[in-house]
């Protein structure tokens, strides 16, 4: 389901919920015809237990996805600060390193903003980011020994190293850390079993309610789509890029001498 669009995923959940409700209802109807006196109490207890497990898994999955979304947002702010710090330290370097480093950092920020809108370009942007890291490091190594060994050089090197570390953290969280497939599988299995049970419970009473079925389908579709959106980097629930946009505007301004923080 990872490749489905938001609305495709939403519709799939609705189909799964309504389909399993109807299937369970048919089973319940058959049971009701064969044994009209089937007690509803034991069935209700079992269905309640399964729904409780489903509620637990929904809460657990939402917590995982929300934590990942919060981590992405926090790492974005930290990376913006790290890039800004490198830019400040680069202003203390002599030419041509000063201007070259600022141009590299502007390209770096441009790539970050581009991939936020075009996730399909992620491999190219990651490769470009690694090349920019190497280019910044090359500028540090090209400094005169007196500058490289002085506080100015050390400050620039430390800021560069911090930027590289944050880049790797953002890549790990955005690309590799997701709600585990086993959790999604368990969630879908429990959803199907729960809806089968609810449909069966309706069936043994001999009546069903289409409005209730539709409300349940929409409710579960909204919650599951939200979990998927929080977990998916390219989903509809995206991290606000305004801090990175402001940094881009700052780096694009005419260069002025600034003091390091």
- Dump pLDDT digits (tens) for 35-57: 777 677 788 899 999 999 999 99
**Number of helices and strands in the chain (H, E):** 9, 0
Q: Is residue 260 part of a domain?
A: no
Q: With 90 as the cut, is the pLDDT of residue 238 above it?
A: no
In the chain, what percentage of residues exceed pLDDT 90? Answer: 62
Assess if residue 261 is contained within a domain.
Answer: no
Residue ranges of the alpha helices (H) in 118-180?
122-141, 145-148, 151-171
- The count of domains in the chain is 1
pLDDT (0 to 100) of residue 216: 93
Residue 29 inside a domain? The answer is: yes
202 and 55 Cβ atoms separated by less than 8 Å: no
First to last CA, the chain: 47
Split at pLDDT 50, 70, 90, the class of 63 is very high
Q: What is the pLDDT of residues 145-184, one digit of tens each?
A: 766 557 788 889 999 999 999 999 999 998 888 899 999 9
Structure-token match 């495709």, residue found: 8
| Strand, coil or helix: 256 | coil
Is the pLDDT at 66 greater than 60? The verdict is: yes
79 band by pLDDT with thresholds 50, 70 and 90? very high
Pick the more confident residue, 24 or 4.
24
Quote the pLDDT of residue 32.
Answer: 77
Query: What is the span of the domain harbouring residue 210?
Result: 6-252
What one-character-per-residue DSSP string does 175-241 give?
II--S-HHHHHHHHHHHHHHHHHHHHHHHHHT---HHHHHHHHHHHHHHHHHHHHHH-TTSSS----
58 found inside a domain: yes
What b/e sequence results for 136-168 when a residue is b if at least 16 CB atoms lie within 10 Å of its CB, and e otherwise?
beebbeebeeebeeeebbebbbebbebbbebbe
Residue 203 lies in a domain: yes
Q: Is 95 helix (H, G, I), strand (E, B) or coil?
A: coil
- For residue 205, being part of any structural domain is answered with yes
Name the more confident of 41 and 23.
23
Residue 101 belongs to a domain: yes
Mean pLDDT, the chain, as a whole number?
Answer: 89
Give CA–CA dist 18/64, Å, rounded: 27
Cα-based distances in Å from 13 to 3, 17, 20, 171: 15, 6, 11, 30
How confident is the model over 111-115, as a mean pLDDT? 94
Give domain status of residue 195, yes or no: yes
On whether the CB atoms of residues 174 and 233 are closer than 8 A, the answer is yes
> Rounded distance, CA 230 to CA 235, Å?
7
Mean pLDDT of 218-223: 96
Contact indicator for 114, 195 with CB cutoff of 8 Å: no
In the structure, what pLDDT confidence band is assigned to residue 247 with cuts at 50, 70 and 90?
Answer: very high
């Amino acid at each position: 389901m990872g490749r489905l669009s938001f609305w495709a995923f939403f519709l799939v959940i609705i189909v799964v919920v309504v389909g399993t409700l109807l299937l369970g209802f048919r089973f319940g109807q058959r049971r009701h015809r064969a044994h009209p006196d089937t007690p509803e109490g034991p069935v209700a207890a079992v269905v309640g237990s399964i729904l409780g497990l489903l509620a637990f898994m929904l809460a657990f999955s939402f917590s995982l996805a929300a934590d990942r979304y919060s981590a992405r947002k926090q790492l974005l702010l930290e990376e913006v600060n790290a890039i800004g710090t490198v830019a400040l330290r680069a202003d203390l370097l002599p030419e041509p390193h000063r201007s070259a480093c600022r141009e590299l950092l502007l390209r770096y920020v441009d790539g970050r903003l581009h991939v936020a809108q075009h996730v399909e370009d992620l491999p190219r942007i990651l490769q470009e980011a690694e090349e920019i890291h190497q280019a910044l490091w090359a500028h540090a190594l090209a400094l005169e020994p007196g500058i490289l060994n002085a506080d100015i050089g050390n400050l620039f090197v430390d800021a560069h190293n911090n930027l590289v570390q944050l880049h790797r953290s953002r890549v790990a969280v955005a690309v590799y850390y997701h709600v585990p497939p086993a959790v999604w599988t368990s969630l879908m299995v429990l959803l199907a079993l729960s809806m089968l049970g609810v449909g069966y419970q309706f069936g043994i009473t001999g009546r069903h309610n289409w409005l209730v079925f539709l409300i349940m389908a929409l409710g579960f579709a909204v919650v599951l789509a939200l979990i998927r959106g929080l977990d998916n980097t390219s989903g509809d629930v995206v991290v606000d890029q305004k801090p990175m946009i402001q940094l881009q505007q700052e780096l694009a301004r005419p260069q002025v001498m600034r003091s390091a923080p």
